[in-house]
C-alpha cells in the first residue's frame, strides 16, 4: 500500500508538472479554464469523456500529418512570401493614405488662400478701376462685378454707368469711350502691382483734346511713384509732363529738342510777355515722361 501511495503521489506530481507546461505552451487554457466540464460548451466532457477528446485530437493530428505530406513545400514558401509582400504593401498603403490626407489638407489651405487673394485683388482693382475711369471720363462710373447668381470666382464683367443709368452692354459705348474703359482697367491692374516704368504709344489717338488732358492728370494723380514714357501727337497730353522731347524735320534732317517742365514754363512765360504764341511750335511726334 505504501508503494502504491508513493506511485500515486509521483503520478500526481508529474500530472501537475504537465499542467503547468501545458498552460505555458497554450495560454488559452488559463482564459478558458472556467468553462471546463460545463454542459453545452465545447468542454462538456460528460458526452464522451476526456479519452474520447484525446482520441479525436490524435485522429485530427494524424490527418493533418497525412495532408502535410501531400502539400507542395514550394507553395507554402510562396504563400509565406506573398504574406510578407502583403504586409509590406499594407504598410506602404498606410503611408500613402496619410500623405494623401496631408495633400488634401494643403490643397484646401491653398484654395482658401487663393480665394482670399482673389477677393482682395478684386476689391482693390475694382475701386481703382472706378476711380480712374471717372477721372478720364467725368460723370461716369465703372465697376467689376460677377454675373447675377454667380460667384466672383466664376468670372467678372465690366459695368458702366453715365450719371445714375447703368448701361446694359458695352456695345452702347463709343469707340473712344471703350478705349478709355480698356485703358482704365489696364491701369487699375497695373496700379494694384505697380511697375517702375510704363510706355504708352498713342493711347489718345481716338480721343479728343479734353480726354487727352484727363489722361495726363490721371497719370500724375494715380502714379506718383512710376515713370511714364508717353508717345503722342496731341499737345494736351504734355501739360503734366516733367520733360518733353520734340522731334521735327529741320532742313531735311530729323532733330530732337528737350524741354523740362521748369524750362518750358519759363519759356512760355517769356513768350507770353513778348506777345508770342507757342501754339505754332507743333511737333510731328512727342515723347513725355
pTM, two decimals, is: 0.52
Q: Confidence class of residue 286 from pLDDT cuts 50, 70 and 90?
A: very low
CB 170 within 8 A of CB 181: yes
Instruction: Please name which of 178, 138, 139, 174 lies closest in space to residue 158, comparing C-alpha atoms.
Output: 178
Sheet strand arrangement including 253-260: 197-201, 227-232, 285-288, 243-250, 253-260
> Looking only at Cα atoms, what is the longest distance across the chain?
159
In whole angstroms, give the CA distance from residue 288 to residue 38: 108
- Angle of helix 209-222 versus helix 73-136 axis, rounded to 10: 120
Instruction: Please name which of 36, 4, 41, 1 lies closest in space to residue 22, comparing C-alpha atoms.
Output: 36
Q: Render pLDDT for 112-134 as a digit per residue (tens, 0 to 9).
A: 999 999 889 888 999 888 888 88
Question: What pLDDT shows up at residue 48?
Answer: 63
Question: What pLDDT shows up at residue 109?
Answer: 94
Question: What pLDDT shows up at residue 58?
Answer: 87
Q: Render pLDDT for 23-60 as a digit per residue (tens, 0 to 9).
A: 888 888 888 888 887 877 777 767 666 677 788 888 99
Domains assigned to the chain: 80-193 (3.40.50.300), 194-289 (3.40.50.300)
The percent helix, strand, coil of the chain (3-state, each to 5) is 60, 15, 25
Cβ-based neighbour number of residue 208 at 10 Å: 11
pLDDT score of 90 more than 80: yes
Question: What pLDDT shows up at residue 262?
Answer: 58
Instruction: Please name which of 273, 108, 136, 142 lies closest in space to residue 216, comparing C-alpha atoms.
Output: 136
Amino acid at each position: 500500500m505504501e508503494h502504491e501511495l508513493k506511485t500515486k503521489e509521483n503520478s500526481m506530481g508529474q500530472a501537475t508538472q504537465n499542467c503547468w507546461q501545458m498552460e505555458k505552451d497554450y495560454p488559452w487554457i488559463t482564459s478558458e479554464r472556467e468553462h471546463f466540464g460545463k454542459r453545452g460548451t465545447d468542454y462538456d466532457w460528460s458526452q464522451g469523456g476526456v479519452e474520447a477528446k484525446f482520441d479525436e485530437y490524435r485522429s485530427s493530428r494524424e490527418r493533418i500529418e497525412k495532408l502535410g505530406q501531400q502539400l507542395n513545400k514550394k507553395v507554402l514558401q510562396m504563400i509565406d512570401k506573398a504574406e510578407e509582400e502583403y504586409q509590406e504593401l499594407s504598410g506602404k498603403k498606410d503611408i500613402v493614405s496619410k500623405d494623401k490626407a496631408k495633400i488634401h489638407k494643403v490643397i484646401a489651405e491653398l484654395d482658401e488662400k487663393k480665394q482670399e487673394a482673389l477677393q482682395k485683388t478684386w476689391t482693390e482693382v475694382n475701386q481703382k478701376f472706378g476711380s480712374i475711369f471717372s477721372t478720364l471720363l467725368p460723370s461716369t462710373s465703372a465697376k467689376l462685378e460677377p454675373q447675377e447668381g454667380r460667384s466672383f470666382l466664376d468670372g467678372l464683367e465690366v459695368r458702366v454707368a453715365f450719371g445714375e443709368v447703368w448701361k446694359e452692354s458695352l456695345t452702347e459705348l463709343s469707340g473712344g469711350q471703350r478705349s478709355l474703359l480698356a485703358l482704365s482697367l489696364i491701369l487699375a491692374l497695373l496700379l494694384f502691382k505697380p511697375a517702375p516704368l510704363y510706355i504708352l504709344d498713342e493711347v489718345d489717338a481716338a480721343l479728343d483734346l479734353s480726354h487727352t488732358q484727363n489722361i495726363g492728370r490721371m497719370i500724375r494723380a494715380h502714379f506718383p511713384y512710376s515713370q511714364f514714357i508717353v508717345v503722342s501727337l496731341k499737345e494736351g497730353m504734355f501739360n503734366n509732363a516733367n520733360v518733353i522731347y520734340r522731334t521735327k524735320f529741320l532742313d531735311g534732317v530729323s532733330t530732337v529738342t528737350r524741354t523740362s517742365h521748369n524750362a518750358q514754363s519759363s519759356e512760355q512765360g517769356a513768350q507770353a510777355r513778348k506777345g508770342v504764341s507757342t501754339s505754332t511750335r507743333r511737333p510731328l511726334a512727342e515723347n513725355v515722361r
